[in-house]
Structure formats: C-alpha cells, structure tokens
Structure 1
Amino acid sequence: MSDPVDDARLGTRLVQAGRRAEWTGPVVNVPVWRSSTHLYADCADLARGRPNADGHFYYGRRGSPTHWALCDALSGLEPGAAGTLLYPSGLAAISGALLGLLNAGDVLLMSDNAYEPSRTLADKLLRPLGIETRWFDPLDLAAYEAAFCPRTKVVLLESPGSLTMEVCDVPALAAIARAHGAWSVLDNTWAGPTGFAALAHGVDASVLALTKHVGGHSDLMLGSVTASATVHDRLRERAQILGQVVSPDDAALALRGLRTMGLRLDRTTASALAIAEWLAGRSEVAQVLCPMLPGATGHDLWRRDFTGGCGLFSFVLRGRDVAARTRLIDALRLFGIGFSWGGYESLAIPLDPQRIRTASAWPKPGWDAADRLGVRLAIGLEDPADLIADLAQAFAVMDRA
C-alpha cells in the first residue's frame, strides 16, 4: 500500500513529510537528537555493523532522526529523488556536489549567471585541484553544446540566476549534458522543489540553500543536495569522507520552517509580482528582471516549467549613476541592506553583474548602454502597499540631489 502522503497535494506534503511515527513517537515534531555517540548493544552488535543509510544509528556524523526526518521530507518533495544530503550552508552544498562528482583533469561547465561564490569556488579551490572551469551563456544552447569536450563531467546551472534572473531551458541543457556523458547540477534555491521539479526536468542533483525559503526566518545556515540514483551514492560517500555534518538544532529549525514554507512563498510571490508590476510603470526604471512578470524575459519558460515563484527579483535603473542608486537604497526604510533572501523581511542590494561575467554581456544586447546599474530586491512578508510606498519615497530622494 502506498503512503497517502505520496499522493497528497503540496500543502499536505509540506505538513506531513518526514514525520514518521518511529521518529516522532507520540509528539507532533521529531525531537532534537543531540548526540555524537551511538551505542551498540554488545560486541556482536558492533561487529555486525549497520547499513550506511538514513534511519540507522552508527555515529553522530551519520545523523539522527532529526536529520533523517529533514532528508526524508526534502526527498519526498522532489520526484525521482534517491535521497538528500545535508551541508552546513548553501555554498557548502554546492561545493559538496562539485567535489563529489569531479576529479583532477575534469572540466566543469558553469553557467555565467551563477552565484558569485560558486565562481570563486571554481577559481580558488577547483582550479588548484586540477579541475578546469569553462563558463557559458545559459541562453545560448549552441555555444553551450560547443563547449563540451571529452573531459567535461559536470554542468552547474542556476535558473533563474540569483542576480539577473535569467530563466534557462533546464530540460534542454540537462539533456545535452547527458548526451555528452556529463552530470547536471542545478542551484534550485530560487524556486525550490515546490516551484521547480529539478530531477523531473532531467537534472541529476538539485542544490538548495535551506538558509533561504526553508528556514524562512533569517536565523539558520544550512544547505542540501537532493540527488537521483545515478549520483546519490557517490555524493554520499564523498560527503562522509569530508566529514560533512550539520547541527540537529539547525535541522529542526529547517523542519519547522518547511511546514509554513508554502504559505510564505505564496505571499512573497504575490507581493513581488505586485511590486514588479508597479516598478515596470516607473520612469526611473529601464528593466524589471522578474520572470513571473508577463512580458518579461524568460516568462514563457517560467510558465512552461515552473509551478511557483518567490520574492526575489531585480530591476535596472534608467540612466542613473552610482551616487543616485546609493541615494535610492540608503533612503529605503522598510528594506534592510543585506545579501540573503527568503526570510520574512525585505532586503535590497546594489546589482553590478558585469564584474563577474565571462561569457555573456551586461548590459544585455539591445539595452541602452547607460542602463546598467541595478538593484536586487528580496520581498518579505510586509504589506506590499507599504513596500511600494517605501520605494516611491526612495525614488523621490534619489532624484533630489
């Protein structure tokens, strides 16, 4: 008989996932198991050993019911998943996936819109280990396929890009990688498994910064890799060799956040779309980079492949200089200035992607060259009308100099 949760709708799965009776006992939530040492009954029990899989006590580094419940819940949200591995941050999850699949002499293809720390990882860690990284424009399928060589083993994708919001054709990119004998890894933090089913769209491993939407309260650092059967065991083995382990308290916070994630994403997505529509009508704004916005670049692919969005998007100022943008951001009263997103609070940061682009242009072809300075907004749970009013007064301050 199948588990009724497997056939349930998303809201029900978010509430029920990972709450196995053997882990929760008579309470609602899985208890927080703080333990480094797991005891054996006797020497015969020790000699028999225990399976190297979630759900079996062995040693604290292999996890406890608190960790297993989170892994089980995340895997259950991703059709086609063989399992999930936990890491102490989103970046640690990206590095864990890449170090788990690459060896000296291999070539990594990295999307040019990737998260900046991913690029730094390629330059400062993978290169000294003898792993070559080549960047590609995620919107140019022909150039992407031409970049493959016999040594290409992994492709790192990010869609939408967490700064400039390009939506790429993930199924096509993943299929090309597979045809060339390479694995595809997707940083899926923007939409997560509730908004984009990465493995069902052909990806081998889906990375999440659980710090963001899953945690949801800006008080947690955690990452995960949910993988298909083709790569899961290899990633698991290397994660254990590297001693990757996370706090059970952090796992419990992530489980708590997971239960309300659907409601929070619904709210931030709706608010972000309302604010994006308002920005699109402002004379100070040249471009709104929000794939959820009808008519925006990438909207057709977003509608085809995605089942949800989030509160993160960007916009480009029309012909303003750095001083004007600084006045705008500094004048915001309800937006904090900070690098994260996915929490309950709204944030804003300057957007200058040209310094980290290798294979794609910024400003985009067809734009006015003066329209190059952007702002990234992370929309939280505040009332969208208040956020719009805050942006309106900040625009007034921007042009008051």
Structure 2
Amino acid sequence: MSQQKSLQTLLSHSDYTAPEGFDAFPVPIHHASTVVFKDVAAMRSRSWQHKNSYTYGLHGTPTSFTLEARLAEIEQARHCLLAPSGLAAIALVNLGLLKTGDDVLLPDNVYGPNREMALWLAQDHGISARLYDPMTGAGIAALIQPNTRLLWTEAPGSVSMEVPDIPALCAAAHARDVLVAIDNTWSAGLAFPAFDHGADIVMQALTKYQSGGADVLMGALLTRDDALSQKLGLAHMRLGMGVGMDDVYLILRSLPSMPLRFHAHDMSARHLATWLKARPEITTVLHPALEDCPGHANWKRDFTGAGGLFSVIFDARFSEDQTDRFVDSLQLFKIGFSWGGSNSLCVPYRMATMRHDWPHTGQLVRFNVGLENPLDLIADIERAMAIAFS
C-alpha cells in the first residue's frame, strides 16, 4: 500500500499521468531548466555535445531540437545552433573561432553591430579586424595574411545592397585555409544555398522571415562540418546562450508559411522598386534584381529570389531634412529597423558615416516591403513625396 501524500507534496508529485495517443500538428512546447534522469547511470551517460539526449534546459529540449533540425533542412546543413539574437549568433562565431593574434576580414557593408564587435575585439582582445570592398571577389586573396582565420561575407549588404561574388570569395579563402561565414539573413536560406556556393558557416537572424511577426529575437548558426560544429557548440555552452521555448514555438509555427510570405514580399518589393526607378526624385534603386544594382550579375547567377528589402538614393538636390520629412510623412511605412514582418518599414541612413568611399551624394532610404497591397504602398510613397518635396 503506497504512502498517502500530503497535499503540499501531491502538488509537486501528482499521481496523474495523461493518457497516451494525443497527436496534433503543432510541436509541443517543452519548458525546462532541470532535466530529470531515470537514474545516476543515465545522468552520467549523457552529454550536452550530442543532440541525441537531454542534459539541461540551456542545451535544448525537444522543442528547440526540432527547430534546429528544420532550419538545417532548409539550409541543407548537418548542424544548427540557436542563439538569443542574430548578433548573439555572430558573437558565437567570433568568440568561438578567434583568439589573440588572429585576423578577421569583414566587408565594408557588413551589418553594423558585427563591425562594432570586430572593433571591440581589435581594441580589447588583440584580434585584428580589417574591412574589404564587398565587390572584390577573387581579389580578396591579396588581403589574406598568414594569421587570417575568418572571412565574413554578407549577401547582399543589408543597407547598400551590393551582391558579392560568394563562390570567388570562398575559393580564395579556402585556398589559404581561411573559414568563411556568411550572413544569409536576407534570403532566409530560401533564395541562396550558401553551402553549395562555398560557405563554411551560415548565420541567420531568425527575427526576420522565419518569425514573420516582428515579435521574436533569435539567431541561428548552421554548418555541415562536424568538427566545426563541435567548436561552435563549445562556445555556445561556455557563453550560456539559451533561447526561450515559447519563442522557439513561435518560429516553428511560422516556418510552414515562410516560402509563401517570402515570395509575396519579393513580388511586392520588385513592383515598388520598378515604380521608384521611374520616379524623378530617385536617382538609384539598390535592388539586387534590378540590372544597375552592384552585383546584379552575381544575384542573377546565384539567387532564386529577393525578398522584401531594398534601398533607394534620392536626387542630391534634396537635403537630409527633406528626405527625413518624406519618411516622417509616410503612413503605411513605419519607421523602424529589421524586416521580414507583415508591416512595411522605412529607415533613412547617413551612409557617409557608415562606408568608406561611398559613391553617392544623395540621401539613402531603405524600404522593407511588408504584406500590404503594393498599390496602397505606392500611394503612400507618392503622397509623402508630394508633402516633402513640393
């Protein structure tokens, strides 16, 4: 006869077990800090380094393992690590692979916080960080030093939109035993198979199209190499980069619709970019699918889509105050960073403070085209232009 439990104990050790046989489409949300083991032998036999068992919530639950597996399927990778943000994933690469005395190369159009991190590593940790022309292609070979360990790429640049020659960059780097990490957030792994073009590590900000709701911060690192995955996994453990399972669930829920949403963003953005190209207020439309965007030939050769993000250069006769007024006058386009959500966004940038030898004199404004009717977005832009430039 089992001993009767007190109510206080019963609330933590219930005798109830839910019946088996329940099945549904959503992936269950498994919350855990503590993982319970059947016995001491089971506890001692498990390792956080292998994704075939569970040790502690920080290292994953069935919910996060499922998201990692599905992201790996999209990118055709073998391994995936989740991080609290895209920048956290970038930090895992830099801190996991670089040490004092090493050198890292970054494109001049690199994501701003990645540049800031590189400057911090150079200033405080003895790791040299150098910027290169994103369109240098095979010419990167001349910049690789004996201590160069890592080459960052971004396709395209998230503000200035150049599309680099990724295969040429990777070939030159690999010839000198340099690893290549690519920020593949713009294509979400849908429009650019980065590993097939030579990348060793793929970074994605899941905050964008994978979430689709502008309500989740998360990043991912993907690899095909077992040893490289273990090295990044060790940094992941040492830095304690766990993610919340509710956020993981939100991304899992959004993944099935991601290709449909990405295509809708793409079609609407091309519609707007083509319309803007004909406007007298605009001198340049920086959209990779348009022929005059730097690296268009690379995009046409290597990519199968474009998503919703692009930039424009206003005619130099319009001042910063005027283009700021244009942005302020928009109603459907909200002012805010990021992209990939259903709402359209718009941000003006001071490119002279961000880029070396920036060739344009007009003001740059970046558009994220959401899921609104593109004709309504065009009307919003036209009305804002009339207010700002009349």
TM-score (norm 2): 0.91
Tell me if 1:382 matches 2:372.
yes
- 1:190 matched to which residue of 2? 186
SS at match of 2:208: coil
- 1:40 matched to which residue of 2? 37
- Does the 8 Å CA contact 1:137/1:143 hold for their aligned counterparts? no
Q: CA deviation at 1:98?
A: 1.4
CA distance in 1, matches of 2:250, 2:352: 36
Q: If you compute each CA radius of gyration, which structure gives the higher value, 1 or 2?
A: 2
Q: CA deviation at 1:106?
A: 0.4
Q: CA deviation at 1:241?
A: 1.4
- 2:302 matched to which residue of 1? 305
Tell me if 1:61 matches 2:51.
no
- 1:273 matched to which residue of 2? 270
CA distance in 2, matches of 1:48, 1:244: 23
Deviations 1:280-301 (A, max 9, x none): 0000001000001244332221
The AA in structure 2 aligned to 1:206 is V
SS at match of 1:234: helix
1:170 to 166, 172, 175: 166
Tell me if 1:287 matches 2:277.
no
The AA in structure 2 aligned to 1:160 is P
- 1:16 matched to which residue of 2? none
Q: CA deviation at 1:318?
A: 0.5
Tell me if 1:333 matches 2:323.
no
- Does the 8 Å CA contact 1:363/1:372 hold for their aligned counterparts? no
CA distance in 2, matches of 1:283, 1:388: 15
SS at match of 1:397: helix
SS at match of 2:366: strand
Tell me if 1:363 matches 2:368.
no
CA distance in 2, matches of 1:149, 1:201: 23
RMSD: 1.5
User: Identical aligned pairs, as a percentage?
Assistant: 39
- 2:105 matched to which residue of 1? 109
TM-score (norm 1): 0.89
Cα distance 1:206–1:396, how it changes in 2: closer, same or farther (>3 A)? same
Bigger mean CA deviation after superposition, 204-213 or 298-307: 298-307
Tell me if 1:395 matches 2:374.
no
Q: CA deviation at 1:145?
A: 1.8
- 1:234 matched to which residue of 2? 231
- Does the 8 Å CA contact 2:138/2:169 hold for their aligned counterparts? no
Bigger mean CA deviation after superposition, 298-307 or 87-96: 298-307
- Does the 8 Å CA contact 2:312/2:365 hold for their aligned counterparts? yes
The AA in structure 2 aligned to 1:247 is G
Across the two proteins, how many residue pairs are aligned to each other? 368
The AA in structure 2 aligned to 1:355 is T
SS at match of 1:377: strand
Q: CA deviation at 1:142?
A: 5.6
Deviations 1:294-322 (A, max 9, x none): 44332221111011211000000011111
Q: CA deviation at 1:147?
A: 1.1
1:261 to 254, 258, 261: 258
- Does the 8 Å CA contact 2:135/2:165 hold for their aligned counterparts? yes
- 1:124 matched to which residue of 2? 120
Show structure 1 runs of 5+ residues with no match.
1-23, 365-370
Bigger mean CA deviation after superposition, 84-93 or 232-241: 232-241
